[in-house]
Structure 1
Amino acid sequence: MPVRVEESNAPAQVSGTDPGNRSPLPPSSLLGAGQAFSGTQNVSNQQKEEAWRVNVQIQGIDLEHGYLCGTMEALNVPMADTPVITFWEGEIVDGKNYTFYTGKWEATREDDMRHWSKFPSFSPLQGQVESDGGRQLDLNNYPYIFMRWKEQYFVNVGTDCGLTIAGFYYVCFSCSDGSISGFYYDPNSSPFQKLELKTVNEGRSGFSFSSYELQ
């Protein structure tokens, strides 16, 4: 959730598989409903260096449908009197529900590749993704989970708060230590604003979707 800008002039063997028979990505012990993360988002631009403290909590996850949702709290936003909280929904790149190509939110395939390629863990996958979006990749045992997070609305402030949620995050989650890195994409915001988060709790309080179709 960067400042609104007014418009002006780790290697692992990867194998192919049949996407029609693919099972959902295995759950990570560090990625689940109620899990919390804390870190920073770098929102620096050419004029100044700036980073916001950020807290994220996962509120729900449905691996079968490649879906998760949660809240994001920015704590030291200069133009806001209180922390700014947003609700976001996410897409898990699993080759079945979602591929590495976004296909919306003003992101072209070139934008996708520019952002995914900033994650070192994406390097072994890049050739196959450039070929077919990664639909033939077997990501079930890959040590990283790739996602997109799209903020949907402000929870505790109005849309006149000076921030924008027009863009979305390219996200990479490490299954080994629960760390998250991400890059914000919005054509009208500073490019490649980096999100860096670490897991902060082992307890869980949230909900999961596992036995019914999302409406």
Structure 2
Amino acid sequence: MPVRVVESSTPSQVSDANPGHTSPAGCTLLSVGQAFSGTQNVSSLQKDEAWRVNVRIQGCDLDHGYLCGTMEALNVPMADTPVVTFWEGEIVDIKNYTFFTGKWDATPEDDIRHWTKFQSFSSLLVRFQDCYLYVVFMHFINYFSFQRQVEVDGGKSLDLTNYPFIFMRWKEQYFVNVGTDCGLTIAGFYYVCFSCGDGSINGFYYDPNSSPFQKLELKSTNEGRSGFSFSSYELQ
């Protein structure tokens, strides 16, 4: 499969979001230098395998819904060395970005199909009450109301400030240590859900030309932090 390298560009942002919305609350586990480790499952009709993956956040700007970092795949069958890519991310904060992607060959239907695969997407609005049946009832009412609002306009009228999960999109921009002939593609992007509680990350890779719903599962590590938080920078 040919590899298409996407040059870094400024993604489309929300132009008419509710000005009262604020950025997600700060989370110490989603910050510059934080490292994560886990796997990405790659499934097809012929195989079912998991690549070991390391991720490190290199830059973070919550006010503008932006973050970036590196991703290292350690046991890719077609590569002789670990493959490192640089990615840029959009934080779904409604102020800068909504649940609608609007690019990268993703339709609103694709967005809904992927976001609803996250259990945290449906559980964000659950209100814990003493009565179990009431909880179940309100869970479904809130879930469908939440999903309906996302389907209508990407969730522009929602307030995600105090949610315990942060939804993002990660788009790999270029290969860091290998050439484009390494056998991998970075044409797609990741739908990502980050847990503020334990720093775990779940994601699904989307590329119309690749196996669907490749799952990314990462946990935060205790490695030393390194990175930067400048709003303007250049990697060499």
**Both structures adopt the same fold (TM-score exceeding 0.5):** yes
Matched, 1:187 2:208: yes
Cα distance change, pair 101–175 in 1 and its aligned pair in 2 (3 A): same
What SS does the aligned partner of 1:189 have? coil
Cα separation, partners in 2 of 1:28 and 1:202, compared to 1, 3 Å: farther
What is the CA distance between 1:204 and its match in structure 2? 2.6
Shift of 1:192: 0.3
2:101–2:111 CA contact under 8 A, matched in 1: yes
> Shift in Å at residue 206 of structure 1?
1.3
Please, which of 155, 171, 176 is the counterpart of residue 150 of structure 1?
Answer: 171
Q: Is the 8 A contact 1:5 1:189 kept in 2?
A: no
Whichever residue aligns with residue 69 of structure 1, its letter is C
Residue 32 of structure 1 is matched in structure 2 by 31
8 A Cα contact 2:38 2:54, kept in partner:
yes
**Residue 146 of structure 1 aligns to which amino acid in structure 2?**
F
Q: Deviations over 1:167-199 (max 9, x none)?
A: 000000000000000000000000000000000
Cα distance in 1, alignment partners of residues 232 and 78 from structure 2: 41
- Give the 3 Å change call, closer, same or farther, for CA 183–5 of structure 1 in structure 2: farther
Report if aligned partners of 2:22, 2:93 keep a CA contact under 8 Å in 1. Answer: no
Shift of 1:131: 2.3
Match of 1:170 among 168, 183, 191: 191
Q: Distance in 2 between matches of 1:111 and 1:203?
A: 37
Cα drift, residue 203 of structure 1: 4.2
Instruction: Output the aligned Cα RMSD.
Output: 1.8
User: How many aligned positions are there?
Assistant: 199
Match of 2:18 in 1: 19
Report the AA paired with residue 144 of structure 1. F
Equivalent-residue separation in structure 1 for 2:199 and 2:223 (angstroms): 10
**2:228 aligned with 1:207, yes or no?**
yes
Partner of 2:125: none
- Name the SS for the 2:203 alignment partner: strand
TM-score (norm 2): 0.80
Native 8 Å contact 2:64 2:96 kept in 1: yes
Residues 76 and 83 of structure 2 are in contact (CA less than 8 Å); yes or no, is this contact kept in structure 1?
yes
Alpha-carbon distance in structure 2 between the residues aligned to 1:86 and 1:97: 24
| Residue 198 (structure 1) aligns with | 219
Which of 1 and 2 has greater Rg?
2
Structure 2 residue matching 1:43: 3-state secondary structure: strand
Q: TM-score, normalised by structure 1?
A: 0.88
Q: Secondary structure at the residue paired with 1:38?
A: strand
Aligned partner of 1:62: which letter? D
Change beyond 3 A, Cα 1:35–1:141? same
User: How many angstroms does 1:128 deviate by?
Assistant: 1.8
Q: Encode CA deviations 1:30-56: one digit per residue, 9 max, x unaligned.
A: 100000000000011110111100000
Q: What's the counterpart of residue 77 of structure 2?
A: 78
What fraction of aligned residue pairs are identical, expressed as a percent? 76
Aligned to 1:9: none
User: Structure 1 residue 88: deviation in Å?
Assistant: 0.1
Aligned residue type for 2:25: P
